[in-house]
Amino acid sequence: MLTRTRRGWELPEARATPEHVFWNRRRILAGMAASGALAGPLLAGVSARAAEDAGIAADLYPVERNPRYPLDRPLTDAELATTYNNFYEFGSHKQIWKAAQDLRLRPWTVTIDGLVEREQVIDAEDLIRRMPLEERLYRHRCVEAWSMAVPWSGFPLRALVEFARPLSGARYLRMETFLDADMAPGQRAFWYPWPYVEGLTMAEATNELAFLATGIYGRPLPKQNGAPLRLVVPWKYGFKSIKSIVRFSFTADRPQTFWSTIAPQEYGFWANVNPEVPHPRWSQAEERPLGRSERVPTLLYNGYGEFVADLYRSLEGEPLFM
Ligand SMILES: Nc1nc2c(c(=O)[nH]1)N[C@H]1C(S)=C(S)[C@@H](COP(=O)(O)O)O[C@H]1N2
Ligand SMILES: [Mo]
């Protein structure tokens, strides 16, 4: 169970500042451009690439930490969290971080539709600039039994819901990833029901923990982590945290989600973390934190029960943990 008091083994704040390894490449590029080492059209090309590399609304970061969500474990090394990824749009291997560099972030529009007062299409950067950005340290538990703990930057999903002004008939929030098989070769795998879709109940979407990440380690989100906008719901298995969102739809009916369409016996709508409910093919009792060789116990609701357990009190008949 998560406690809000700070314990001896918790991290000093400074440990969450950006780690340098990952960002060196960008600095080298910027340095090359500044030194005039490259001339003419080549320089322009490098500058454009550097701007693209810097990510969306890069000037906003780092953002202030919200101290309400302490960790019980060390932060994952930035290099690991940004190179060990799941992003099926770019394949099912673990070199996703390279393949995902083909993701084009500009232009990126976000559609808000369905049961709302007024449907809107808004540029992702405009949206991000209007939202109250903060940093939060969250655990992340993949259904494959690896885990990490990272500093996300972003804003509460509740702020997006308020911005969208849903009608009273809205009971679910459906979220959709981009669809572009030219850019994302994984989407040529015709046996998957693209685009990736996830969903939450309105109560879940407006819970204080539900977060839309726009950055990580004090920088804009790298492409492989789901730039420019990705969901983070840390009490649920990682597949619920949908990346590179282009559409938020408010619906009366429960949305059909990507993994529950592919394998309904293995991956459900709720997908709350529970060490006592095994996946049909493996135990969920323990997890391997990225960068560590030992396994550690998995916690009910990934340790966030004090924030979310109440959401499920009247839903005991539902398969809440798959
Ligand atoms: N669109 C999309 N979102 C996705 C996925 C995906 O394949 N496509 N994988 C999910 C899974 S299984 C996990 S564990 C997390 C991984 O996020 P990370 O790569 O930032 O660690 O993203 C989730 N969001
Ligand atoms: Mo996952």
How many Cα atoms sit within 13 Å of 32 on the Cβ side?
17
Q: Which atom of ligand 1 is nearest to the CA of 243?
A: 3
Query: pTM above 0.85?
Result: yes
pLDDT score of 54: 78
| 75, 82, 87: residue to mutate for ligand 1 pocket, most atoms within 8 A of CB | 87
Q: In this model, does residue 30 exceed pLDDT 80?
A: no
Q: Which atom of ligand 1 is nearest to the CA of 81?
A: 21
Q: Which residues does a 6 A CB cutoff place in the pocket of ligand 1?
A: 85-89, 142, 177, 196, 225-226, 238-239, 241-244
Tell me which residue has its CA closest to atom 16 in ligand 1. 86
Using pLDDT thresholds of 50, 70 and 90, give the confidence band for residue 4: very low
Taking the C-alpha atoms of 20, 21, 23 and 29 in order, what is their torsion angle to the nearest 10 degrees? 120
- Which of the ligands is closest to the CA of residue 148? 1
Helix extents (H) in 114-272: 124-130, 157-164, 202-205, 258-262
Taking the C-alpha atoms of 143, 147, 150 and 152 in order, what is their torsion angle to the nearest 10 degrees? 0
Using pLDDT thresholds of 50, 70 and 90, give the confidence band for residue 119: very high
Tell me which residue has its CA closest to atom 4 in ligand 1. 242
Mean pLDDT, the chain, whole residue set: 88
Q: Which atom of ligand 1 is nearest to the CA of 237?
A: 14
Tell me which residue has its CA closest to atom 20 in ligand 1. 225
Are 234 and 302 in contact by the 8 Å Cβ rule? The answer is: yes
Using pLDDT thresholds of 50, 70 and 90, give the confidence band for residue 27: very low
How many Cα atoms sit within 13 Å of 15 on the Cβ side?
14
Say which range, 48-52, 150-154, 166-170, has the weakest mean pLDDT: 48-52
- Which of the ligands is closest to the CA of residue 234? 1
Using pLDDT thresholds of 50, 70 and 90, give the confidence band for residue 53: low
In whole angstroms, give the CA distance from residue 103 to residue 75. Answer: 27
In whole angstroms, give the CA distance from residue 210 to residue 178. Answer: 21
Using pLDDT thresholds of 50, 70 and 90, give the confidence band for residue 51: low
Q: How far is the CA of 166 from the centre of ligand 1 (A)?
A: 27
Domains of the chain, start order? 19-32+39-312 (3.90.420.10)
Among the listed residues 316, 258, 269, the one whose alpha carbon sits nearest the alpha carbon of residue 171: 269
Are 164 and 212 in contact by the 8 Å Cβ rule? The answer is: no
Residue 253 in tokens:
């009916």
Q: How far is the CA of 86 from the centre of ligand 1 (A)?
A: 5
Q: How far is the CA of 241 from the centre of ligand 1 (A)?
A: 6
Convert the pLDDT of each residue in 58-89 to its tens digit.
999 999 999 999 999 999 999 999 999 999 99
Residue 117 in tokens:
């007062």
Tell me which residue has its CA closest to atom 21 in ligand 1. 85
Q: In this model, does residue 26 exceed pLDDT 50?
A: no
Using pLDDT thresholds of 50, 70 and 90, give the confidence band for residue 29: very low
Convert the pLDDT of each residue in 168-219 to its tens digit.
999 999 999 999 999 999 999 999 999 999 999 999 999 999 999 999 999 9
Tell me which residue has its CA closest to atom 15 in ligand 1. 238
Q: List Cβ<8 Å contacts ≥24 apart for 286-289.
A: 286/145, 287/141, 287/145, 287/146, 287/147, 288/145, 288/146, 288/147, 289/73, 289/76, 289/146, 289/147, 289/148, 289/149
Q: How far is the CA of 87 from the centre of ligand 1 (A)?
A: 5
In whole angstroms, give the CA distance from residue 21 to residue 296. Answer: 27
Q: In this model, does residue 40 exceed pLDDT 90?
A: no
